[in-house]
Structure 1
Amino acid sequence: MTGSWWLDTLLGVLAGLATAWIALITALALTRPRHGMLSEAVRLLPDALRLIRRLAADPALPRGVRTRLALLLAYLAFPIDLVPDFIPVLGYADDAIIVAVVLRSVVRRAGLPAVRRHWPGSDDGFAALCRPPA
């Protein structure tokens, strides 16, 4: 009886994880960036990583914002991606999409001036970062 309960729980957890992964892949496939937008995101990546680190370390920001940013940094540092890199376009785009989603939530919660204050790059780079998707 006990062994069956553990097996059922394990199978339920695995099924839930598989369902969540399939939903994420579907969402990424539907929202994947255009080719030009992806190359622009790659150019902004070093500045965006420094921005995320600086925002996560800012004690003036709300704790929830800093927690999201710390989790994002941990995700980016983790060697295993949600979408493997060998999958064309989506393999590399998943990180860019996740960073964009977290940064949008940071802007909504902390405000654009806080993000601007910590931006380490050029004014043109910040303008590209703030440009809405087409």
Structure 2
Amino acid sequence: MGRLAERASALKRDVLALWLAARDTRTPLAAKLLAGAVAAYALSPIDLIPDFIPVLGLIDDLLIVPAGIWLVLRMIPPPLLEELRESASAMAGRPASRIGVAVVVTAWLAGLVALALFLL
């Protein structure tokens, strides 16, 4: 179980590193574009194949996202990748933005109010 937690932590760090790579001027253009797409897809709540579809719904989470991460990590120069991973590790240790949490909670509450008004 400890090994699985380590791998999950590394995956989270690498997705954040890809997001940083997409915004870094030293990243090659092809890697930058693919890194932005993979990071946005990995962090997005919208899936290519919805998770409620049996078996197929988990393919993107288990195969497509890790394959995209693997490909982009190979496209980024190793010294830059190490620097981005260090930055991502430092960012992952910081507390979440309270403003961001407030925005998300407000959006959920607004959605619930809209649903309640619609149902009434």
Question: Which residue identity lines up with residue 89 of structure 2 in the other structure?
Answer: G
- What is aligned with 2:75? 109
Structure 2 residue 24 is the aligned partner of structure 1 residue 58 = yes
Give the drift of 1:53.
1.3
What is the RMSD of the two structures over their aligned residues, measured on CA atoms?
A: 3.4
Deviations 1:25-70 (A, max 9, x none): xxxxxxxxxx998765433343233211111111111111110011
Identity of aligned residues (%): 32
Give the drift of 1:112.
2.6
| Alignment match of 1:49 (pick from 7, 15, 18) | 15
After TM superposition, the structure 1 stretch with the greater mean CA deviation from structure 2, 87-96 or 73-82, is: 87-96
Contact 1:72–1:102 (CA<8 Å) still a contact in 2? yes
Contact 2:15–2:42 (CA<8 Å) still a contact in 1? no
Normalised by the size of structure 1, how large is the TM-score?
0.48
| Alignment match of 1:84 (pick from 47, 50, 63) | 50
Aligned residue pairs total 88
Alpha-carbon distance change, 46 to 89 in structure 1, aligned in 2, over 3 angstroms: farther
Deviations 1:4-34 (A, max 9, x none): xxxxxxxxxxxxxxxxxxxxxxxxxxxxxxx
Unaligned runs of 5+ in 2: 91-120
Q: Secondary structure at the match of 2:89?
A: coil
After TM superposition, the structure 1 stretch with the greater mean CA deviation from structure 2, 36-45 or 63-72, is: 36-45
Contact 1:65–1:106 (CA<8 Å) still a contact in 2? yes
